Amino acid sequence: MPVVLTVALCLSVIVAVGVVFAAGRTAPDRTGPSADRYVEITAVSPAVSPATGPDASTGSFTEDCGRNENGHHNADNVVVAPGVVGGAHHTHDYVGNVSTDALSTNESLARAGTTCAGGDRSTYYWPVIRRLDRAGSDVHAVGGGADGNTGAIVTPSSVRVEFRGNPVSKVVAMPRFLRLVTGDAVAATAGGDARIRAQWGCSGHPGRFTTAYTRCPRGSGPTRTFDLPSCWNGLATDSPDHRAHVVFPAVNGVCPQATFPVPQLRITVAYDLPHGTRYAVDSFPEQRRDPRTDHALVINVMTDRRMAAVVRCINEGRHCQSA
């Protein structure tokens, strides 16, 4: 056999083996969402806050629940899909209650431990974000690579859990075990944007929110701000769609008829990433990691006594922190 033909055959074999190896190897996702899913934070206009009235509740109560340093992750969603292990098909970050999973009940949550100072056993959770320049450790797991969520999970640099007042009235206590949902996990295929509540931003640029991923200037990192609904129907801690029992106020802060303002929960999650690092949120596979799918869920497990202290602080216009 001529030398040239032999060399060509050998090269063909090497290329073929390389293709097979690459096909069976999980590599970091260095592409991720398309470029039009990212915007410069400097192009985003600041949000306008509603004016406060004479009966406004202007205080706040901030909790320190850590930033999930203990790596509490799973692909469950106990609010929307209780009892279904892996039912979220994307991975959630948790702070607060250390036991939360698909099989949690009110009773199990009430007796579990917590990462929150002061003993609040509430559970606060949202999808993780991943940096796309590194491979994750869950490349074959449900919620991770098996559902298209590639990349290395990023631990937040900070998490702020803040209960705030209402711009036009005093607030009343949330009932224990109230379920709260914000955002639309199926926004990319929903056919409408009514439930989209994604608020991506950058540290050092307060009040600038967008439904797209943000590109932050050097020295700044991406943030996510979750505003939870705060107008409760006064009757139920949950509803068939997990939303009808507690809804959002109007833009001016007024709650719909037959609902009552409860402390408005805002969760702000920040990240430190090397400048220019691509990142993406976990999502259902068919949502293709669309930034508009960002969402968060809460189960209030505060004792009635602690919730009363939160309400008192807010209605008196004080700014309190958990001890």
| pLDDT 10s digits, 142-188 | 999 999 999 999 999 999 999 999 999 999 999 999 999 999 999 99
What amino acid occupies position 228? L
Predicted TM-score (pTM) of this structure: 0.90
pLDDT at residue 224, rounded to an integer: 98
Rg (CA), the chain: 22
pLDDT at residue 31, rounded to an integer: 55
Please report which confidence band the pLDDT of residue 203 belongs to, taking 50, 70 and 90 as the band edges: very high
* H helix runs in the chain, sequence order: 3-24, 106-110, 304-315
Task: Compute the average pLDDT of residues 306-323.
Answer: 96
Pairing of strands 264-270, 158-164: antiparallel
Greater confidence, 27 or 313?
Answer: 313
pLDDT at residue 141, rounded to an integer: 97
Residues 6+ apart with CB under 8 A from 282: 90, 91, 92, 127, 128, 129, 130, 143, 149, 289
Q: Determine the 3-state secondary structure of 30 from DSSP.
A: coil
Return d(Cα 231, Cα 124) in angstroms, integer: 19
Task: Compute the average pLDDT of residues 218-230.
Answer: 98
Task: Compute the average pLDDT of residues 290-300.
Answer: 98
Return d(Cα 228, Cα 174) in angstroms, integer: 12
Return d(Cα 133, Cα 275) in angstroms, integer: 12
